[in-house]
């Protein structure tokens, strides 16, 4: 097997520690890192400005209207939470199925989850109009004697997202504790020693520590898979529980879960490529990783294609004029370029992954992954915007155009995600050092 075919690096454990930990402890991180940081910081400032203007002016600054009451807020929420769902799903599922190539990608996939889920949570909160009252979603003792409306998907969402963010944080942090201890022990500067020392909580890697850690981490992985499926199913229920034609479909929860995994894996491919380039880590994330991820994306693409075909079939088979009208509007109406763009990004372009060349040729695989991310974003636009604008009553029919502030907030959140990820690469081991060493040791000839 050639070096590019391996999923685990052929290196001594000590060398692996140095490979991952030392770049974090270097005082300088290079110009490209700073350029990314400044760019992302600029966009993050745009996000803050957009939010301030939103709070000052109200949700009327967005392109929403009486039919399209959600608009970009729901589009971006679903897109971000989809990406956010994938990290924990990937990490947990690959751990349970004992996929050896997991160790190279799980840490930053989990970080991606945390950042994306936090950003996703911003959209419904700021869409409330009075975001400072979002705590009304929490059942807390109050003088009005009010409790949340438990039959409302918004309340389900709140419980799902809040639980998911906290769960993902614990899962990610638990996995990283032994690596924080490694950084604590390697750090030369006082600040790094103290910071990593506190994060490591005094981890000593004793037999009892490892036994307990393994017991907890394995159980978390086992719980993570149904949790992720439930979270994105709840997001699907946001739509399916509505009566709008095109939304009121029982296919939504599983269709959304696959879509989330699909877009999340595509984002992992993009981030893995950035990470590989930034840390010069071609031996940690090999061509074989991209090959495997390409196959998963191909599978996801086929399932998405079947899902779209099922929607068309339902539209036709229902015999319901409004359902058929929604499908026709998606395919041929005002938004046809978006719908066909979605089909291109999610169904047609990923078929290139049938060829091993496109799975292993890094620029190609990144471009395809970006096409999938764009396709999945367009999917959310089409799903969110068309059905409410083509309801049962013709008087409801309208169109939707995002305003500058819609775009500014979306661009800002992309920058904020980039900012968090850039900082993450600088301070936290992006690859699970201890798991990689464990696997390399297990593979080593004795």
- Which positions touch other proteins (CB under 8 A)? 12-14, 17, 139, 145-147, 149-151, 155-156, 159-160, 162-164, 166-167, 170-171, 174, 178, 181-182, 184-186, 197-198, 201-216, 219-220, 223, 226-227, 230-231, 234, 237, 434-435, 437-438, 441, 446
Closest CA to 381 of 417, 334, 318: 334
Phi first, then psi: give them for residue 241, nearest 5 degrees.
-75, -10
CB-nearer residue toward other proteins: 38 or 201:
201
Closest CA to 265 of 298, 235, 222, 287: 298
Quickly tell me which residue has 């502030």 as its tokens: 405
CB-nearer residue toward other proteins: 359 or 437:
437
Would the CA dihedral through 255, 413, 289, 109 be positive or negative? negative
Give min distance, CB of 228 to other proteins, in A: 10
The CA distance from 420 to 69, in Å, is 30
CB-nearer residue toward other proteins: 41 or 93:
93
The CA distance from 44 to 369, in Å, is 24
Give min distance, CB of 394 to other proteins, in A: 24
CB-nearer residue toward other proteins: 131 or 197:
197
Give min distance, CB of 148 to other proteins, in A: 8
Distance of CA 273 to the CA centre of its chain: 16
CB-nearer residue toward other proteins: 2 or 143:
143
Angstrom distances, CA of residue 211 to CA of 122, 169, 208, 359: 38, 21, 5, 38
CB-nearer residue toward other proteins: 276 or 437:
437
Give min distance, CB of 234 to other proteins, in A: 6
Give min distance, CB of 207 to other proteins, in A: 5
The CA distance from 407 to 63, in Å, is 10
Count of CA atoms in the C-beta half-sphere (13 A) of 278: 26
Give min distance, CB of 354 to other proteins, in A: 37
**CA geometry: angle 244, 302, 104, nearest 5 deg:** 110
Give min distance, CB of 78 to other proteins, in A: 17
What DSSP designation does 414 have?
Answer: H
CB-nearer residue toward other proteins: 176 or 297:
176
């Amino acid at each position: 097997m050639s070096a590019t075919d391996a999923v685990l690096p052929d290196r001594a454990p000590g060398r692996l520690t140095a490979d991952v930990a030392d770049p974090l402890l270097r005082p300088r991180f290079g110009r490209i890192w700073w350029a990314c940081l400044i760019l992302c910081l600029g966009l993050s400032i745009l996000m803050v400005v957009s939010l301030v203007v939103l709070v000052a002016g109200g949700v009327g600054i967005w392109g929403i209207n009486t039919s399209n009451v959600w608009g970009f807020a729901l589009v971006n929420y679903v897109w971000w939470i989809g990406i956010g769902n994938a990290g924990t799903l990937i990490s947990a599922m690959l751990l349970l199925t004992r996929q050896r190539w997991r160790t190279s990608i799980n840490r930053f996939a989990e970080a991606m989850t945390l950042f994306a889920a936090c950003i996703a949570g911003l959209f419904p909160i700021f869409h409330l109009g009075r975001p400072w009252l979002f705590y009304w979603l929490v059942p807390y003792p109050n003088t009005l004697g009010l409790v949340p409306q438990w039959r409302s998907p918004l309340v389900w969402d709140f419980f799902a997202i809040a639980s998911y963010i906290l769960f993902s944080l614990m899962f990610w942090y638990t996995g990283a504790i032994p690596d924080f201890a490694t950084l604590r022990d390697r750090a030369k500067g006082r600040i790094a020693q103290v910071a990593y020392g506190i994060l490591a909580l005094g981890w000593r890697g004793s037999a009892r520590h490892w036994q307990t850690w393994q017991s907890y981490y394995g159980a978390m992985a086992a719980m993570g898979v149904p949790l992720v499926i439930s979270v994105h199913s709840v997001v699907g229920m946001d739509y399916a529980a509505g009566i709008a034609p095109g939304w009121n479909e029982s296919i939504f929860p599983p269709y959304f879960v696959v879509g989330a995994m699909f877009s999340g894996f595509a984002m992992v491919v993009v981030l893995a490529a950035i990470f590989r380039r930034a840390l010069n880590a071609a031996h940690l994330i090999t061509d074989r990783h991209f090959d495997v991820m390409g196959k998963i994306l191909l599978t996801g693409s086929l399932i998405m294609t079947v899902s779209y075909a099922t929607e068309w079939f339902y539209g036709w088979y229902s015999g319901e004029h409004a359902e058929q009208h929604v499908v026709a509007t998606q395919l041929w109406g005002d938004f046809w370029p978006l719908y066909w763009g979605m089909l291109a990004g999610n169904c047609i372009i990923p078929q290139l992954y049938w060829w091993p060349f496109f799975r292993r040729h890094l620029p190609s695989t990144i471009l395809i992954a970006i096409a999938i991310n764009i396709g999945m974003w367009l999917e959310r636009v089409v799903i969110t915007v068309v059905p409410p604008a083509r309801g049962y009553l013709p008087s409801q029919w309208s169109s939707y155009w995002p305003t500058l502030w819609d775009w500014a907030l979306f661009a800002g959140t992309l920058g904020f995600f980039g900012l968090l990820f850039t900082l993450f690469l600088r301070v936290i081991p992006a690859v699970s050092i201890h798991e990689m060493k464990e696997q390399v040791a297990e593979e080593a000839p004795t």
